[in-house]
């Protein structure tokens, strides 16, 4: 199968190119090889490649900067996916699109299901939602919402704590935002499961929106503590300083963009349709830390 992949330098794109190339032919693009601001170029490139499916792993992900760069975020998170979707429609092929927990406002008591009402609190969340809506105009789509993604590659919370633990003696982390840290392995695995499903030409009435996260939930402060506790066992190698970790509220850590207090996503739909199970986020975190230490 020939796969057209965007965002190859991001966390997911980097992992997918590696994983999918073992079985499929992957044509992976980045911002240098595909200008996501050039709508016609996007379509022309897809038509030139003639893939069997498209995976859009590219996005404008700087949540706070998006508040100041609304137009740029909209073009990358909404208009570029629309162009990819139109190209997919012209070729009659499936398209995968990665979205976010930030399309919700976080006021729900439990975990969000796919059909819950969206209400983004930030420009980033809004533009990702707009991208979803453009993708939905073409029936053969898979929209995968995920949260708090981490990997040894790219920028993420785990890597930030890993770095700060070697530089600081005191850390303050918010404790009133809840969600599910998601290993890049979990997200890549989910996409591979769907591709295998399509490749075997099983019941194809499975297109739509799915939530995909690792098992378990936590808040940012507890997540940071778990990372630091894990790193503590590598104290000699990392030369960690003695640190103090303090919980603070979101109000005490002002940012340009408002984050949802509850980012928990219910993954039952994906598990039921594709008969899949995912490991706990702590297992993924431990594996990631080990990879970063190699």
Q: Is residue 113 a part of any domain in this protein?
A: yes
Q: What is the pLDDT of residue 292?
A: 86
pLDDT at 290: 87
Sign of CA dihedral 158, 160, 162, 165: negative
pLDDT of residue 93: 96
Q: How many domains does the chain have?
A: 1
Asked whether residue 224 is assigned to any structural domain, the reply reads no
Q: Domain for residue 229, yes or no?
A: no
Residue 129 lies in a domain: yes
DSSP state of 206: T
Model confidence, pTM: 0.95
Q: What residues of the chain score a pLDDT lower than 70?
A: 201-204, 234-242
- Cα separation of the two ends of the chain: 33
Model pLDDT for residues 29-76, shown as the tens digit of each residue: 999 999 999 999 999 999 999 999 999 999 999 999 999 999 999 999
Specify if 28 maps to a domain.
yes
Q: Which residues participate in catalysis according to the annotation? A: 124
Side-chain-side CA neighbours of 209 within 13 Å: the count stands at: 22
Residue 30 covered by a domain: yes
Domain that includes residue 272, residue range: 2-156+182-216+264-279
> Is 104 part of a structural domain of the chain?
yes
CA-CA distance, 126 to 247, in Å (whole number)? 29
What is the per-residue pLDDT for 293?
80
Over residues 162-182, the pLDDT tens digits come to: 888 878 788 899 999 999 999
Q: What is the model's pLDDT at position 99?
A: 98
Q: At 88, which CATH number?
A: 3.40.50.720
């Amino acid at each position: 199968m020939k796969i057209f992949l965007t965002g190859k330098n991001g966390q997911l794109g980097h992992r997918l190119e590696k994983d999918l190339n073992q079985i499929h032919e992957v044509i992976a693009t980045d911002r240098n090889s595909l200008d996501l601001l050039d709508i016609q170029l996007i379509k022309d490139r897809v038509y030139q490649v003639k893939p069997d499916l498209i995976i859009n792993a590219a996005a404008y992900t700087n949540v706070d900067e998006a508040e100041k760069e609304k137009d740029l975020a909209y073009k990358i998170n909404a208009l570029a996916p629309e162009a990819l979707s139109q190209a997919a429609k012209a070729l009659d092929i499936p398209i995968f699109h990665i979205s976010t927990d930030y399309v919700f406002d976080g006021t729900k008591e439990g975990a969000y299901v796919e059909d819950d009402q969206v209400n983004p609190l930030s420009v980033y969340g809004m533009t990702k939602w707009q991208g979803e809506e453009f993708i939905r105009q073409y029936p053969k789509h898979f929209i995968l919402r995920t949260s708090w993604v981490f990997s040894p590659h790219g920028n993420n919370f785990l890597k930030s704590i890993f770095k700060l633990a070697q530089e600081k003696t005191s850390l303050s982390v918010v404790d009133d935002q809840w969600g599910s840290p998601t290993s890049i392995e979990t997200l890549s695995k989910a996409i591979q499961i769907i591709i295998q499903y399509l490749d075997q030409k099983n019941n194809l009435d499975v297109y739509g929106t799915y939530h995909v996260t690792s098992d378990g939930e936590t808040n940012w402060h507890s997540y940071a503590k778990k990372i630091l506790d894990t790193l503590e066992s590598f104290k000699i190698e990392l030369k960690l300083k003695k640190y103090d970790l303090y919980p603070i509220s979101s109000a005490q850590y002002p940012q340009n963009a408002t984050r949802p207090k509850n980012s928990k996503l219910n993954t039952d739909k994906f598990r039921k349709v594709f008969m899949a199970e995912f490991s706990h986020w702590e297992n993924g975190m431990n594996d990631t830390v080990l990879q970063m230490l190699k």
